[in-house]
């Protein structure tokens, strides 16, 4: 392990020199953890996450982390993450699909307990019949938890978002957890080029006193509201405590937006802003959308891409602005329910322009050709189909 | 931009995944781009194996299995004759103006298959790649090299030197593990050949011969892939 020197957050995220490596998404997440001055990681293995936490375990063995262990299962993992974080250390864990759902009661309590943890979510089918493939319906379960949710398109995003997540989660005016999600296998087990900061530089350590709430002080919130729960008070005290506390959690979630602008170049990316037809997508579907936009442009069609990087906070104003003159918005997704489609429709006044799909589920591949079909339909182009399926 | 979306179908033990890696690494050696997705299935000899490679002179964004290929390579005739494949018929999803290369001693396509491929304006090549591997390298395990040789001979995507670099990396480098099974297969092959260098040379001879066959048969790429 090289001697790592602490550098300023802004320097590491925005200015430090970068070197290009050809690595998997799992490696990219671990490489970000390596540079994030993480104190402790707690793991419980599940495919396709296992590779990430295995690599983080290697980091512990090399001396990058102070502590690492395998918990009893995900409920234990997520609860222990809360405990460790409240004790004042910087923590990381990752999970997938069913593991996320097993841990979700504890995860959903993190924002309210003001736990600045970073959670990797490497997507996997959650519903029966059992599968290990990268359906991303599990992200819908996180949308209402108060957690900040970033969705990575590729290995580069995984690195950038994970490293930035540690910085964003500990900002005093944010101080809630950040989940960095990406599709299992398609990103975690596939290699891509990643521009990385030097191995011998790391973020400053967590300063537990630079916080809106005190660390492990049982006499004041948030610890006080666990020890001495509002449920034991009158109904009116219970309403009030919960209401003001959750208002502050969601306001914190919104305040993360300025850091998403600062460190990740904003919550959305727009390709060809003057297009008539847009593919609107997040995560791995954005990569498929990017390819479709390239094919469409080669055919002389005026098609653009709106990639949504931040799902929570959701960039309502930015999406509304990007789609204000669009004739159609095609939303490809890796889940049956279409959670992104619902988010976009709720955000824009002209929701009739939205095409619900194409969607694939069960974790199957999302062929660019399916997106092209919707583009042709939106533009009123008749395609003769010769392909035998 | 020229893009090859390739589906390779063969059976376990033929080095389908290995040759997909070599194809990708040869593109990388030539300063071009490739991504690959292996589909192992049950990982055993003679069971269906598929691998997917995308190759281009431009960065590749899309991921996942290639559902709509413009190049299909069939490493074993049983993929077609016995249906040892995850995609049936073997040309399912094939785009217009594509290339199909089949390793077979005899014409195994039905009239119906031929009609479909003709309607799609497909360049169909059938050749006894296993025979070529046996003749030049003395082992049918070099069938994948012959198939790679045909592909690169036809498309001229990279030079012979780039392929050699990729094959060298595969057999002499120590960083590559396709799977535990493949690693143990390697040691079996090594014993057979005694020396790794000799193995490399034999493989390269097969590829060189495949290049010559492409020239002799005039299998140049007439049709640009879609």
User: Would you state the pLDDT for residue B170?
Assistant: 82
**Other C-beta atoms within 10 Å of A29: how many?**
33
With tokens 């329910």, the residue in question is A337
Identify any residues that bridge with B54 across adjacent strands, giving them in sequence order. B5, B35
pLDDT value, residue B184: 63
* Residues in chain B within 8 Å Cβ distance of A388: 89, 91-94, 116, 120
User: Residue B42: is its pLDDT beyond 90?
Assistant: no
Residue of A365, A371, A384 to mutate, testing the B interface (most B Cβ within 10 Å of its Cβ):
A365
Residue B120 touches chain A, beta carbons under 8 Å: yes
Cβ distance B36 to B85 under 8 Å? Answer: no
The residues pairing with A119 across neighbouring beta strands, listed in sequence order, are: A93, A179
- Among B226, B221, B222, CA closest to B120: B226
CATH code for the domain of B74: 3.40.920.10
The C-alpha atoms of residue A33 and residue B185 are separated, in whole angstroms, by 36
Sequence-ordered list of residues with C-beta below 8 angstroms from that of B91, at least 6 positions apart, any chain: A388, B72, B100, B113, B116, B117, B120, B122
CB–CB of B61 and A294 under 8 A? yes
Residue range B142-149: average pLDDT? Answer: 96
pLDDT digits (tens, 9 = 90+) for B132-142: 999 999 999 99
Whole-angstrom CA distances from A141 to A190, A253, A314 are 26, 16, 15
pLDDT at B224: 47
- Nearest Cα of chain B lies from the Cα of A105 at a distance, in angstroms, of 32
Instruction: Please give, rounded to a whole number of angstroms, the shortest distance from the CA of B93 to a CA of chain A.
Output: 5
B119 occurs within a structural domain: yes
**Rounded Cα–Cα distance for residues B117 and B102 (Å):** 13
Structure tokens at A295: 């094919």
Task: Write the residue in B28, B61, B67 that is nearest to A291 by C-beta.
Answer: B61
In a domain, B187, yes or no: yes
d(CA A254, CA A175): 12
Within a domain: B225: no
CA distance A293 to chain B (A): 11
User: Which among B28, B65, B95 is the nearest to A387, CB-wise?
Assistant: B95
Question: Cβ of A21: how many Cβ atoms within 10 Å?
Answer: 16
Asked whether the beta carbons of residue B63 and residue A287 sit closer than 8 angstroms, the reply is yes
Q: Which of A133, A279, A291, A360 to mutate to test the interface with B (most CBs of B within 10 A)?
A: A291
Reply yes or no on whether the pLDDT at B40 is more than 60. Answer: no
B33 touches chain A (CB under 8 A): no
How many structural domains compose chain B? 1
* CB contacts, 8 Å: A195 with chain B: none
| Interchain pair B116, A389: CB under 8 A | no
The verdict on B138 touching A (C-beta cutoff 8 Å) is no
pLDDT at A190: 87
CA A293-A297-A303 angle, to 5 degrees, is 55
Kindly determine whether residue A388 and residue B68, on different chains, have CB atoms separated by under 8 Å: no
Q: Where are the domains of chain A?
A: 5-202, 268-378
CB pair distance less than 8 Å for B64 and A191: no
**pLDDT beneath 50, residues of chain A:** none
Q: Is A5-202 in CATH node 3.40.630.30?
A: no
The angle at the Cα of A57, spanning A51 to A60, to the nearest 5 degrees, equals 150
What tokens does A320 get?
A: 């509304």
Contact between residue B211 and residue B49 where contact means Cβ atoms under 8 Å apart: no
The shortest CB-CB distance from A365 to any of B64, B91, B120 is to B64
Q: What does DSSP say about strands B48-56 and B33-39: parallel, antiparallel, or unpaired?
A: antiparallel
Q: What tokens were used for A26?
A: 């799992």
CA angle A370, A373, A376 (to 5 degrees): 155
- The topology (CATH level 3) of A268-378 is Rossmann fold (3.40.50)
Whether B65 and A365 lie within 8 Å, measured CB to CB: yes
Containing domain of residue B33, as a range? 3-216
b/e burial code for range A364-382 (CB count within 10 A of at least 16 → b): ebbbbbbbbbbbbebeeee
Provide the phi-psi class of A309: left if phi over 0, else alpha when psi is between -120 and 50, else beta. alpha
Q: Could you tell me where the beta strands, DSSP code E, fall in A89-184? A: 91-95, 118-123, 148-151, 178-183
Q: Is B222 inside any structural domain?
A: no
pLDDT of residue B86: 83
Q: pLDDT per residue over A288-345, tens digit each? A: 999 999 999 999 999 999 999 999 999 999 999 999 999 999 999 999 999 999 999 9
- Is the distance from CB of B19 to CB of B144 less than 8 angstroms? yes
The two domains A5-202 and A268-378 share their CATH topology (first three levels equal): yes
Q: Give B42: exposed, middle or buried? Use CB within 10 Å, 0-12, 13-18, 19+.
A: exposed
A389 interaction partners in chain B (CB closer than 8 Å): 92-93
> Is B3 part of the contact surface with chain A (CB cutoff 8 Å)?
no
Q: What is the pLDDT of residues B60-102, one digit of tens each?
A: 999 988 999 999 999 999 999 998 888 889 999 999 999 999 9
Bridge partners of residue B135, in order along the sequence: none
Question: How many angstroms separate the CA of residue A236 from the nearest CA in chain B?
Answer: 53
A112-139 exposure pattern, b = at least 16 Cβ within 10 A, e = fewer: bbbbbbbbbbbbbbbeeeebebbbbbbb
The Cα–Cα gap between B163 and B152 comes to 9
Residue B175 has pLDDT above 90, yes or no: no
Q: Which residue has the tokens 């006894």?
A: B128
**B7 by DSSP, 3-state: which?**
strand
Respond yes or no on whether the N-terminal peptide bond of residue A162 is cis (omega within 30° of 0).
Answer: no
Quote the pLDDT of residue B176. Answer: 46
Is B123 strand, coil or helix? Answer: strand
Residues 41-80 of B with CB under 8 A from A: 60-65, 67-68
Asked if B91 is an interface residue toward chain A (Cβ–Cβ < 8 A), one would say yes
Q: Do A288 and B61 touch (CB under 8 A)?
A: yes
Taking CA–CA distances from A292, the nearest residue in chain B reads B62
Chain B closest CA to A378's CA: distance in Å?
22
User: Cβ separation of A388 and B1 shorter than 8 Å?
Assistant: no
Collect all residues of chain B within an 8 Å Cβ-Cβ radius of residue A22.
28
Which residues of chain A neighbour B89 with C-beta distances below 8 Å?
Answer: 388
Question: How many whole angstroms separate alpha carbon A4 and alpha carbon A203?
Answer: 10
pLDDT at B221: 74
Q: Does B97 touch chain A (CB under 8 A)?
A: no
Q: What pLDDT shows up at residue A187?
A: 93
Interface predicted TM-score (ipTM) of this complex, two decimals: 0.83
Kindly state whether B194 is in contact with chain A, defined as any CB-CB distance less than 8 angstroms. Answer: no
Question: Which pLDDT value is given to residue A253?
Answer: 98
Q: Which two tokens stand for residue B3?
A: 């893009």
What's the whole-model pTM score? 0.90
Confidence of residue B169 (pLDDT cuts 50, 70, 90): confident
Q: Please report whether residue B224 resides in a domain.
A: no
User: What proportion of chain B, given as a percentage, has pLDDT over 90?
Assistant: 66
Q: Where are any strands of DSSP class E within chain A?
A: 5-6, 19-24, 40-43, 67-70, 91-95, 118-123, 148-151, 178-183, 191-196, 201-202, 268-271, 277-281, 303-308, 310-312, 328-330, 354-355
């Amino acid at each position: 392990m090289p001697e790592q020197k602490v550098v300023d957050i802004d320097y590491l995220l925005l200015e430090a020199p970068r070197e290009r490596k050809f690595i998997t998404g799992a490696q990219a997440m671990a490489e970000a953890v390596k540079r994030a001055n993480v104190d402790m990681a707690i793991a419980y293995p599940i495919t396709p996450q296992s590779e990430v936490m295995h690599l983080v375990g290697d980091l512990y063995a090399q001396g990058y982390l102070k502590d690492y262990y395998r918990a009893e299962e995900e409920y234990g993992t997520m609860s222990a993450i809360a405990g460790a974080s409240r004790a004042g250390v910087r923590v990381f864990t990752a999970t997938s699909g069913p593991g996320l759902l097993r841990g979700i009661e504890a995860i959903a309590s993190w924002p309210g307990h003001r736990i600045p943890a970073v959670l990797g979510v490497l997507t996997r089918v959650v519903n029966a019949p059992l599968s290990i493939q990268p359906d991303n319906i599990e992200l819908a379960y996180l949308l209402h938890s108060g957690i900040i949710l970033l969705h990575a398109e590729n290995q580069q995003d995984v690195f950038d978002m994970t490293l930035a997540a540690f910085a964003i989660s500990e900002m005093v005016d944010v101080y809630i957890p950040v989940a960095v999600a990406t599709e299992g296998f398609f990103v975690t087990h596939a290699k891509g080029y990643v521009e990385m900061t030097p191995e011998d530089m790391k973020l400053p350590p967590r300063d537990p006193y630079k916080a809106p709430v005190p660390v492990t002080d049982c006499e004041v919130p948030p610890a006080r509201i666990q020890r001495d729960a509002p449920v034991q008070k009158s109904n009116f005290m219970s309403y009030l405590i919960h209401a003001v506390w959750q208002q502050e959690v969601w306001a914190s979630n919104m305040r993360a937006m300025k850091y998403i602008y600062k460190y990740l170049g904003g919550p959305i990316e727009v390709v060809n802003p003057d297009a008539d037809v847009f593919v609107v997508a997040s995560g791995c579907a954005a990569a498929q959308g990017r390819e479709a936009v390239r094919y469409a442009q080669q055919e002389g069609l005026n098609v653009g891409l709106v990639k949504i990087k931040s799902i929570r906070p959701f960039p309502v104003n930015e999406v509304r602005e990007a789609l204000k003159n669009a004739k159609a918005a095609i939303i490809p997704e890796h889940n049956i329910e279409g959670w992104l489609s619902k988010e976009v429709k709720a955000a824009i006044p002209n929701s009739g322009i939205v095409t619900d799909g194409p969607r694939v589920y069960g974790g199957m591949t999302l062929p660019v050709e399916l997106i092209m079909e919707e583009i042709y339909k939106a533009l009123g182009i008749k395609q003769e189909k010769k392909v035998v399926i | 931009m020229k893009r090859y979306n390739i589906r390779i179908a063969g059976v376990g033990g033929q080095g389908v995944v290995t040759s997909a890696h070599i194809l990708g690494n040869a593109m990388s050696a030539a300063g071009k781009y490739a991504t690959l997705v292996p589909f192992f299935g049950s990982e055993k000899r003679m069971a269906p194996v598929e691998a997917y490679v995308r190759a281009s002179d431009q960065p590749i964004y899309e991921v996942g299995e290639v559902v709509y290929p413009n190049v299909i390579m069939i490493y074993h005739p049983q993929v077609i004759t016995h249906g040892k494949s995850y995609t049936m018929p073997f040309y399912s999803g094939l785009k217009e103006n594509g290339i199909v290369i089949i390793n077979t001693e005899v014409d195994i396509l039905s009239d119906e298959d031929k009609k479909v491929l003709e309607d799609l304006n497909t360049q169909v090549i059938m050749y006894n790649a296993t025979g070529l591997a046996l003749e030049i390298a003395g082992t049918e395990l070099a069938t994948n090299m012959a198939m790679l040789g045909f592909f690169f001979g036809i498309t001229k995507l990279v030079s012979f030197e780039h392929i050699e670099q990729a094959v060298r990396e595969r057999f002499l480098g120590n960083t590559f593990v396709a799977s535990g099974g493949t690693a143990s297969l390697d040691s079996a092959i090594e014993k057979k050949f005694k020396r790794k260098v000799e193995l490399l040379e034999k493989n390269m001879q097969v590829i060189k011969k495949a290049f010559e066959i492409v020239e002799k048969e005039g299998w140049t790429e007439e049709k640009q892939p879609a």
